[in-house]
Every structure is written in C-alpha cells, then in structure tokens.
Amino acid sequence: MFEVIFDKRAFKELAQLEHDVQQLIWSKIAELNVGNFTNDKALKGNHKGKFRKRAGDYRIVYLKEGTILLITIIRIAHRKEVY
C-alpha cells in the first residue's frame, strides 16, 4: 500500500472539475494507492522521473518514491494542457 499525497495546486485543480470527472480521478488515485500502475507511462524530457495515469481526457501526473512507498500527485489537468 502506498501513501498518496497531493500538491496544493493538484488538489485545487481536482476541486474545480465536474463531479463525474472527480469520481473517475478518485478511482484512478485509489488504484495508485494499492500499487496498480498498469498502463502508466514514464514521462520524458523535463518531466523525467515522473509518471502519468490516464483518467478519461485527464491526466494524473505523479512522482513515485519507491523505497518509502510514497506517491505525490503533482498535477491533474486536461490532456491538452498537462504537459
């Protein structure tokens, strides 16, 4: 089991989304919490070391610190503006 924490910006972005989109994102975050990283992709370039999880048209960008089982949610945004 991983501990999931939010960056303040990511939490504000999540709070501004529609209710049904929020529910989808929360279900994806629950998958992260139990260690389900299926279909997650490592980012490249300036974002090297970060990963992204798809949630419909939205992306959850996170940083996984494996040795201490900590996931930091960095950004939640529409796929057009997340990178």
Residues 7-66 have pLDDT tens digits of 999 999 999 999 999 999 999 999 998 989 989 999 999 999 999 999 999 999 999 887
Q: State mean pLDDT over 61-80.
A: 86
The model's pLDDT over 28-40, given as tens digits with 9 standing for 90+, comes to 999 998 989 989 9
Burial of 4 (0-12, 13-18, 19+ CB in 10 A): middle
Q: What is the pTM of this model?
A: 0.87
**Would you state the pLDDT for residue 83?**
66
Nearest to 73 by CA among 19, 57, 55: 55
| Angle of the 8-15 helix axis to the 19-33 helix axis, nearest 10 | 140
**Would you state the pLDDT for residue 52?**
94
**Would you state the pLDDT for residue 64?**
86
**Would you state the pLDDT for residue 19?**
96
Under DSSP, is residue 35 helix (H, G, I), strand (E, B) or coil? coil
Structural domains in the chain plus CATH codes: 3-78 (3.30.2310.20)
